[in-house]
Amino acid sequence: MLVTLTPKREESSPSSPPRSQRGHEFWRYGGVVPYLAFMALFLLIPAFSVLIGAFESNDGALTFSNLRIALSGPYLQSFVTSFELSVGSTVIAVVVGFVSALAVAATRGRPRALVQSSSSVLANTGGVPLAFAFIATIGNFGVVTKILSGMGLNIYAHGFSLYSVVGLIIVYQYFLIPVMILVMLGPIQNLRPAWVEAARTLGASKLRFWWSVGLPILSPALLSGTVVLFADAFAAYATAEALTSGTLPLVPIQIGSLISGNVAAGEANLGNALGLGMIVVVALAATVYVLSQRRASRWLR
């Protein structure tokens, strides 16, 4: 943020430290060291260890065989299953979340504040309790399952199972839809009333307004929402583990069972290769998110 380097910068820049504190560069930067050390110890070094381990054979030599195993057979299938789950749950949550955000933004007053605060609670809920709430609802003996079969519709006889990809897609909506609502509310409220008026004055139908004006303006926000939801669904572990006891082969669950000691001989670094795969997928998603955020800000002023 410091643009010019005039000699008087120290005196005039509002961000320069007060006179009495100057010159203690060591202490100044020293203040960040504990924080950075924490980040390094508990995030960066572990991530680096995964990265290195992915390319290491059991005796420490460079190898690509871990990655080859991770991208073949049952492990490749786990990436495919994780993708199906993430894409499926993202598509539904993006549409439902967007439509809900429109409905919420068009409502005035109290309901909107209520939806906003409960969305931010639900977006942070998830995890284990959610799994059991759905077991009680549409599990084998769930309340809704029983009600439906009382009405003559046995959903489990028709191929539905809560403990499958389809089941997880439903459960994930519980924390993904609120995230989407939160992502979209701001951009929707930033649509200028004048744009609606201008479009209507020029004879556009309501549908035409959304197609030609509304959606294009909201598209960066929609894209960034999509990416956030995808990464969220892809990395989620607790709900799936609690629901399926690790029987559904998702990438994070495969890594989990490798950690828990179900390691075949010679596969010690396979977990690292799978972990690297997850980092790459999530990092790609994060890059798209950052780029779309930049585009999104273009329309605001």
Partner 1 sequence: MTSPTDGLYLRQAGIGRGFRTLVLGAVGAFFLIPILASARYSVLGNHHHLTLSAYRSLFEDPNFRSSLELSLQVAIATVLLTGLLVIPTSIWVSVRIPKLRALLDVLSIVPLGVPSVVVVLGILGAYHGILNLILTSPFILAPIYVVLALPYSYRTFDTAVRSLDINTLVEAAQSLGASWSRTLVGVLLPNLRAGMIGALILAGAYALGEFVVASLLSFNTFPVYIVQIGLTAAAEAVAVSLVALLVAFVPLSLVAIVGGGRTKRRGVLATG
Q: Which of residues 175-214 bind partner 1 (CB under 8 A)?
A: 175-179, 182-183, 186, 188, 191-193, 196-197, 200, 206-207, 209-210, 214
CB atoms within 10 A of CB 268: 15
Q: Determine, following the binding rule CB under 8 A, whether residue 221 of this chain makes contact with partner 1.
A: no
297 φ/ψ sector (left φ>0, alpha ψ -120 to 50, else beta): alpha
Under 8 Å between Cβ of 212 and 198 = no
Q: Determine, following the binding rule CB under 8 A, whether residue 154 of this chain makes contact with partner 1.
A: no
Quick one: 137 or 164, whose CB is closer to partner 1?
A: 137
Q: Determine, following the binding rule CB under 8 A, whether residue 107 of this chain makes contact with partner 1.
A: yes
Nearest distance from C-beta of residue 157 to partner 1, angstroms: 19
Number of H-type helices and E-type strands within the chain = 16, 0
Nearest distance from C-beta of residue 262 to partner 1, angstroms: 12
Q: Determine, following the binding rule CB under 8 A, whether residue 151 of this chain makes contact with partner 1.
A: no
> How far is it, in rounded angstroms, from Cα 94 to Cα 181?
9
Residue 235 CB contacts under 8 Å (≥ 6 apart), including other chains: 252, 278, 282
DSSP state, residue 264: P
Q: Determine, following the binding rule CB under 8 A, whether residue 63 of this chain makes contact with partner 1.
A: no
Quick one: 34 or 74, whose CB is closer to partner 1?
A: 34
Interface residue with partner 1 among 6, 9, 23, 45 (CB under 8 A) is: 45
Nearest distance from C-beta of residue 17 to partner 1, angstroms: 6
CB atoms within 10 A of CB 192: 11
Interface residue with partner 1 among 75, 79, 230, 232 (CB under 8 A) is: 232
For 123, the token pair is 């977006």
